[in-house]
């Protein structure tokens, strides 16, 4: 398959529901090839650059949409036509994104990773619509939506003074991982249960020789079999040092 048939990103749908993402991807691709001025007003791009840009734009249009703009050869003209046709998607996407943001709560998700994924999806939509979402906004959203039973924990995380959302999430992910390991260990060995012997531990054999076996002989004189042998005391079984505690996010 020739290189031109490979899309750099998803083509613009006929419905235009992916226009905002498509427009961003197209800008990035054109600028990476020094063709950004071909879709900017009041510029004088070369003819060669114009045709290179129009090829890229048309290549990333759905077939049905491409057929509707067969006669347009100027990239700025095509770019403007598509913007006028689909830029209203902001008015459709923004209300839903704002609604999702208002109702986003960390307590509603089973894992930190799941919450983090949804958070970034919502923030991406808001930014595509021109909204500004800062780290402070994301931190406050997370802190303020802890479950009421975790208010003390929430306060402890606040006092850590995180400056970025990424730092907070890293700490929460680590704490969650350690908690899962503790729960797993608790299930394998319930509280109060006796630990099983380690597989490598040596068990010292019991001395089954009656204590009185040599008493009579010792009274009469040293037993020749024991006298002067100098038996060594049994060595202690080999032990592996206990594992260090798992790293955790200090509070």
Count of C-beta atoms within a 10 Å radius of residue 65 = 19
pLDDT in tens, 117-129: 999 999 999 999 9
- Dist CA 26 CA 97 (whole Å): 23
Per-residue pLDDT at 176: 86
Does residue 242 surpass a pLDDT of 90? no
- Dist CA 248 CA 177 (whole Å): 9
Which pTM does this prediction carry?
0.64
Residue of 83, 89, 84 whose CA lies nearest to 23 = 83
DSSP 179-227: HHHHHHHHHHS-TTPPPPPPTTPPPPPP--S-TTTTHHHHHHS--TTTT
Q: What ranges do the domains of the chain cover?
A: 3-87, 91-184
Please count the CA atoms within 13 angstroms of the CA of 240 that sit on its side-chain side.
8
The three-class DSSP label of residue 61 is strand
* Position with higher pLDDT, 189 vs 223: 189
């Amino acid at each position: 398959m020739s290189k031109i048939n490979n899309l750099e990103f998803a083509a613009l749908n006929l419905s235009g529901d992916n226009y905002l993402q498509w427009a961003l991807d197209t800008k990035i691709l054109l600028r990476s090839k020094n063709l950004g001025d071909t879709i900017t007003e009041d510029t004088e791009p070369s003819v060669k650059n114009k045709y290179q840009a129009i090829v890229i734009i048309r290549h990333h249009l759905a077939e049905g949409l491409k057929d509707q703009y067969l006669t347009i050869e100027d990239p700025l003209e095509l770019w403007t036509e598509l913007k006028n046709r689909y830029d209203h998607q902001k008015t459709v996407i923004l209300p839903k994104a704002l609604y999702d943001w208002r109702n986003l709560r960390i307590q509603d998700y089973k894992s930190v990773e799941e919450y983090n994924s949804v958070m970034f999806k919502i923030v991406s939509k808001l930014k595509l619509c021109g909204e500004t979402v800062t780290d402070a906004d994301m931190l406050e959203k997370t802190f303020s939506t802890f479950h009421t039973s975790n208010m003390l924990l929430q306060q402890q995380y606040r006092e850590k003074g995180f400056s970025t959302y990424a730092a907070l999430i890293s700490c929460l992910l680590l704490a969650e991982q350690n908690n899962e390991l503790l729960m797993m260990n608790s299930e394998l060995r319930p509280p109060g249960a006796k630990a099983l012997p380690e597989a490598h531990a040596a068990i010292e054999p019991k001395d089954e020789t009656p204590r009185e076996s040599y008493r009579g002989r010792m009274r009469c004189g040293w037993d020749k079999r024991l006298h002067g042998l100098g038996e060594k005391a049994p060595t202690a079984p080999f032990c592996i040092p206990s594992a260090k505690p798992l790293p955790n996010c200090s509070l």
